[in-house]
Structure 1
Amino acid sequence: MDDLTTARLVLHPLSAGEAEQVLGGRADRSVRWADGYPAEGDLSAARRFLATCADSGDPRPFGTYGIRLREDGRTIGGVDFHGRPDEDGCVTIGYGLVPAAHGNGYASEALRALLAFARTQGVGSVLGDTDVGNVASRRVMAAAGMRLTAETEQLAFYRIDWEDAI
């Protein structure tokens, strides 16, 4: 599977071997990680990806992607699908960046790219959630076209739908 590229980023689909490296905390010599990578969210995504691989096979392209800077190739975070689309064509996404990468628009750029890719793959809707108090993440989802659909004391739930899904 090919990388997804944006103006400043490369979204690299992780293989099972690369997900195991994330869990082990060590990349091979060809990959550079920013300080703070992998974070807990990256570890959780790698575990989920490997569990899916073991249970039902490699879910790519609906797997986990490392977010790399185009300028130097450093991995600064991750964005992922929480599995293949369900019977209604819906997927759930997640994303996160190392603290040093916050405030540069990278999360918005990565999320927009993943949403555009999902749409080309025939996905009809995408779900995401964040902590209620995570204002930056809420802004990222809203800026990418996702709308707030529900809120609990802890979480805010977002969704985007496309009527013209394949």
Structure 2
Amino acid sequence: MKITSFVTGRLLLHPLTVAEAERIVARAPATEDRWAPGYPADGDVAGARGFLGVCAAQGDPGVFGAYEIRRRTDGAAVGGIGFHGPPDDERFVTVGYGLVPDVRGLGYATEALRALLELAREQGVAGAKGDADLPNVASQRVMEAAGMRYAGEDERVRYYRVDFTPVV
């Protein structure tokens, strides 16, 4: 199934293809790729690797894949966001995201996460989970601003979740 990009006010969330994910892992852009300085970061590479692993093990995850976050103004990739795979047995998805340092603090992560959560809700999942390292207060605030709520923590990570009201 071909998934198309979707737009928010300032961003375009572009679904990664296997070839694009392989380029991100190799940090080897093709001529048509527009990457902002600092992209891909280590988290983008890890996310692309995870996406490739899901594709290899389970096939194309469709809408529950990985997305490149691009600015609408210039098309430059400034980060990544996506699902860690299809919904689990409880119909929950796990989300992750990251941005290059130059665009942090502009609200892009919250804007992209809200759009991703809405996409998940529209797909009929029961909810979404995410986490952030304890010192990463900025990421914790992003999840809270996007509607996720604190769900606990351990010695390293703070956990968040959101439960969706079924679409009728």
* Normalised TM-score (structure 2): 0.96
| Equivalent position amino acid for 2:68 in 1 | G
| Letter in structure 2 aligned against 1:37 | Y
Take 1:75 and 1:151, find their aligned partners in 2: how far apart are those partners? 31
Q: State the 4+ residue runs in structure 1 displaced beyond 6 angstroms.
A: none
* Alpha carbons 1:31, 1:73 under 8 Å: kept: no
Secondary structure, aligned partner of 1:31: coil
Relative to structure 2, which stretch is displaced further, 29-38 or 109-118?
29-38
Write the deviation string for residues 51-73 of structure 1: whole angstroms up to 9, x where unpaired.
Answer: 11111101121111000000000
Look up the match of 1:30: 32
Deviates more, 1:64-73 or 1:25-34: 25-34
Contact 1:11–1:67 under 8 Å retained in 2: yes
1:124-155, Cα deviation, whole Å (9 max, x unpaired): 11000001111111110001110000011211
- State whether structure 2 residue 85 is matched by structure 1 residue 83: yes
Secondary structure in 1 aligned to 2:64?
coil
Report the secondary structure of 1:61's partner residue.
helix
2: distance between equivalents of 1:76 and 1:91? 23
Quick one: distance in 1 between partners of 2:84 and 2:92?
A: 11
Task: Please show how residues 119-134 of structure 1 align to structure 2 within 5 Å.
Answer: 119-134=121-136
| 1:112 equivalent among 104, 111, 114 | 114
Q: 1:9-88 residue pairs with structure 2 within 5 A?
A: 9-88=11-90
Aligned-residue Cα RMSD (Å) equals 1.0
Q: How does 1:94-105 map to 2 (within 5 A)?
A: 94-105=96-107
Deviation, 1:88, is 1.6
**Structure 1 position 165, deviation (Å):** 4.9
Q: Which amino acid aligns with 2:8?
A: T
- For residues 163 and 119 of structure 1, the distance between their equivalents in structure 2, rounded to whole angstroms, comes to 8
* Counterpart-to-counterpart distance in 1, 2:50 and 2:24: 12
Instruction: State the percentage of identical aligned residues.
Output: 52
Q: Tell me the distance in 2 between the aligned counterparts of 1:99 and 1:51.
A: 27
Counterpart-to-counterpart distance in 2, 1:61 and 1:107: 19
TM-score by length of 1: 0.97
SS in 2 for 1:11: strand
Whole-Å separation in 1 of the counterparts to 2:138 and 2:104:
9
Q: Is the 8 A contact 1:68 1:75 kept in 2?
A: yes
